[in-house]
């Protein structure tokens, strides 16, 4: 959609350029109207009103959109298929519990072993009696 003040068209003496932008499907995207002048001055309009014969000079330019590169759909479908296969193999994992979760169990066991190795041996028997 486009709009242009009428004073610009009058000052250009009805000589303007129209650009139509069309998609690859044949639909109009936009319309652009351009005149030679860019500012409206009211002082020029009464002079133009005296003229009775107008010659319309409107060049029309059609601009078609260029198609850009298309996405590689085959590569995307292959990736989705691989992800689906990986998900199916994870769901059917029949390994024993220790083999599945050894990465999580091993650090816990090491921490408990290290806590026991560095424990103070004298602190365990500290209730000392009177020695009788």
Residue 17, domain member (yes or no): yes
Residue 49, domain member (yes or no): yes
Sole residue written with tokens 């026991």: 116
Q: Tens of pLDDT along 4-35?
A: 888 888 777 788 889 999 988 888 888 888 88
Total domains, the chain? 2
Residue 124 has pLDDT above 80, yes or no: no
Q: Are residues 24 and 53 in the same domain?
A: yes
Token output for 69: 């590169």
Residue 103 has φ and ψ, to the nearest 5°, of -65, -25
pLDDT of residue 105: 94
Token output for 23: 């998609």
Q: Are residues 16 and 45 in the same domain?
A: yes
Q: Are residues 18 and 53 in the same domain?
A: yes
Helices (H), 1-127: 6-11, 45-49, 73-91, 97-117
At which of 64, 93, 109 does a domain end? 64
pLDDT of residue 53: 72
Residue 52, domain member (yes or no): yes
Q: Are residues 58 and 83 in the same domain?
A: no
Q: Are residues 57 and 12 in the same domain?
A: yes
DSSP string, 63-95: EEPPP-PPP-HHHHHHHHHHHHHHHHHHHT---
Residue 82 has pLDDT above 70, yes or no: yes
Q: Give residue 77's domain range.
A: 73-118
Q: Tens of pLDDT along 101-119?
A: 899 999 999 999 988 877 7
Sole residue written with tokens 């850009």: 68
Cα dihedral 44, 49, 55, 59 sign: positive
At which of 37, 64, 91 does a domain end? 64
Residue 98, domain member (yes or no): yes
Q: Are residues 53 and 11 in the same domain?
A: yes
Q: Are residues 90 and 53 in the same domain?
A: no
Residue 132 has pLDDT above 60, yes or no: no
Token output for 3: 């709009």
């Amino acid at each position: 959609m486009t709009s242009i003040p009428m004073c610009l068209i009058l000052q250009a003496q009805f000589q303007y350029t129209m650009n139509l932008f069309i998609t690859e499907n044949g639909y109009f995207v936009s319309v652009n109207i351009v005149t030679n002048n860019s500012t409206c001055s009211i002082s020029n309009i009464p002079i133009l009103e005296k003229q009775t014969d107008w010659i319309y000079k409107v060049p029309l330019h059609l601009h078609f959109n260029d198609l850009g590169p298309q996405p590689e759909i085959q590569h995307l479908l292959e990736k989705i298929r691989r992800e689906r296969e990986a998900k199916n193999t994870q769901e059917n994992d029949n390994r024993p519990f220790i083999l599945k979760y050894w990465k999580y169990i091993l650090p816990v066991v090491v921490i408990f072993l290290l806590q026991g190795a560095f424990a103070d041996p004298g602190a365990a028997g500290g209730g000392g009696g009177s020695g009788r």
